[in-house]
Amino acid sequence: MTTMNATISGSRIYGYGRVSTNEQTADNQRMEIEAAGYALTPRRWFADAISGRVHASQRPQFAKLLERLEEGDTLVVSKLDRLGRDSIDVEQTLQRLEGMGVSVVVLQLGKSDLTSTAGKLIRKILGAVADMERDLIVERTQAGQARARAEGKHMGRPSKLTDQQREELRSRRKAGESIGVLAEAYGIGRATVVNACRDRAGT
């Protein structure tokens, strides 16, 4: 296998990896990038041990990488999700790198530069798929909620009081016991006491 030098068409090669916890290592991601033919020096490899839910720009090592990158450089990652927490964050990261004049290669998608014309088409397709998946999730959630309501199931957080406790609470409140005393007696907040009494008043 031919290994690419530290420069491709005059560009420097950088790599980035991410794992979720400190117990994990990004070494396998670096090995995957090097196995694909991209030579990485220690100074040009950056990796974060941080949750994938964190925006790319808020990841310490990725932030350092952004400071190091210059026009003409190439950034290589193993998978697309290394560039952001979701499709929106990934696209914003790619736009930022494109604006810096940095090429981006995601091995998961082949070796196309995602900042090139062909790469931008790939990004649009991926964005459309992500939007469709979000719409399907919303649709399934709404359908499930509608079924649950039709079956008489309670939606939202479970009540902190049983029906019997609600009746007892209302009776004690009507007898003059304070909201604070009732809240402590039932282990609930004052607002819950008020709402329980208001529910009956509104029926």
Residues known to be catalytic: 20
Q: Distance between CA atoms of 175 and 191, rounded to whole angstroms?
A: 19
Q: One-letter amino acid identity for 4? A: M
Within a 10 A sphere around the Cβ of 126, how many other Cβ atoms? 16
How far is residue 91's CA from residue 83's CA, in Å, rounded to a whole number? 9
Q: Which tokens go with 179?
A: 């909201």
d(CA 73, CA 69): 6
Ramachandran sector of residue 187 (left: φ over 0; alpha: ψ -120 to 50; beta: rest): left
Q: Locate 143 and state its tokens.
A: 């359908």
Phi-psi region of 14 (alpha: psi -120 to 50; beta: other; left: phi over 0): beta
Cβ burial 16-33 (10 Å sphere, 16+ → b, else e): bbbbeeeeeebeebbebb
